[in-house]
Structure formats: C-alpha cells, structure tokens
Amino acid sequence: MQTDSAAAALAALGHTARLSVFRLLVRAGPDGLLVGEIAAHLDMPLSTLAHHLRSLKQAGLIVQSRNGREVLTRADTEAMRDVLGFLMSECCKGVPALADPS
C-alpha cells in the first residue's frame, strides 16, 4: 500500500458519520446492508448517507453492487487490513539516528 492510499482511507474514516457507517458494515459482515438499511440503523437521511458512502467508496473501503433499484454495500475488510498493515509494517524497527548537526 502506498502512503497516498492509506492517507485517503484514514481521511475518509476521520469523519464520525463515515466511521459509524464503516463500523456498521463491519458488524454486518460479508452479507452487507442495503443503503436504506444503513440509513435506518444510523438514523441518517439518504442524501447525507449517499455523500458519505461516496467518500468511503472513493477511498476503497466499501464495495457496492446493484440489483435493480437496491444497492448492497459491504465493508472491504481486505482493504482495511491493508491500511492497518501499512500502519504497523515498520513497528519496532527503530528510527535511524540523525546526522550530528554540528
């Protein structure tokens, strides 16, 4: 994962509404939820939810599939694992000393 991709994912999750949507989708598991179900669970207007879903989709954190008029939304847990792996990939490797400025 590249720094830009990780930053986009973390920025998308940096909003309380989007974080709530993502956590709800994680709880729903691989079956996901219909957009209307997400709105009902979070008591969020559909127009507001659409905005937040668009941000999460652009960040690569959710996947959506259409079946007629219904839109099924699922958390992309593999993408989240990639973000977490990126954050932890250099854990405890140490930081090189800076050159002596004098």
Domain-by-domain residue ranges, the chain?
Answer: 3-86
Angle between helices 16-28 and 35-42 (to 10 degrees): 120
Question: Which pLDDT band, with edges at 50, 70 and 90, does 101 fall under?
Answer: low
| pLDDT tens digit sequence for 42-85 | 999 999 999 999 999 999 999 999 989 999 999 999 999 999 99
CATH class of the domain at 3-86:
mainly alpha
The model's pTM? 0.88
Note the pLDDT of residue 62.
98
In angstroms, the CA 48 to CA 53 distance is 9
* Closest listed residue to residue 26, CA positions, set 59, 75, 82: 75
Question: Which pLDDT band, with edges at 50, 70 and 90, does 30 fall under?
Answer: very high
* Closest listed residue to residue 10, CA positions, set 41, 55, 63, 50: 55
